[in-house]
Amino acid sequence: MVIKASFSVSRLPNDSTLNYRSDAKSSNARKRSAVASLINRAEENSPQSGYVQDFQDNLRQAHQQVRQAMGTSAVAEKTYFDRRVRSYSFAVGQRVWLYWPRPLVRQKHRKLTLLWTGPLIITSFRSPILVELKDITSGRKQIVHIDRIRNRD
């Protein structure tokens, strides 16, 4: 049995797909390190032909262009994401509605499905995004993501 350092689970003897993936990962790592070694500046003492020098310069220039394009793309994606981010202002003891679509049992049409249940009371915050709610009628408690609750007002 072979245990690879790149996996968090042990490899089974009959599982060839894990071995293939690890070989592919190591192959990609070798390719990346080979390209990186071409991009990095060579030592000044080693003689190089004009072709090798031009090839390395072209690789460096392409690498810089790709890095700039990736940076621009990342900034654009962040601005699109930040447009949809909402701030939440909930407090312990506040009454809220919970998004909990009921399954179709006796209803013919999906558009008549009740999407929100409640009111429920916020009993505590488990984290900045997890809230513990308590049902007013049954006293049942549950932990939900903050995206699933709305202000009752």
List the strands of the sheet with 130-135, edge to edge.
141-145, 130-135, 116-125, 95-99, 149-151
Angle at 117 between CA 111 and CA 120, to 5 degrees: 165
**Contact status, residue 149 vs residue 99, Cβ threshold 8 Å:** yes
For residue range 47-102, what is the model confidence (pLDDT) as tens digits? Answer: 678 898 889 899 999 999 999 889 888 989 999 888 888 778 899 999 999 998 87
40/74 same-domain check = yes
Task: Examine residue 128 and say whether the peptide bond preceding it is cis (omega within 30 degrees of 0).
Answer: no
Q: Which amino acid, one-letter code, is at 145? A: H
pLDDT: which is higher, 6 or 152? 152
For residue range 95-105, what is the model confidence (pLDDT) as tens digits? Answer: 999 998 876 66
**CA terminus-to-terminus distance, the chain:** 62
| Domain membership of residue 27 as a residue range | 16-84
Number of domains in the chain: 2
72/111 same-domain check = no
103/71 same-domain check = no
Last-in-domain residue among 55, 84, 113? 84
Domain assignment present for residue 2? The answer is no
pLDDT: which is higher, 66 or 112? 66
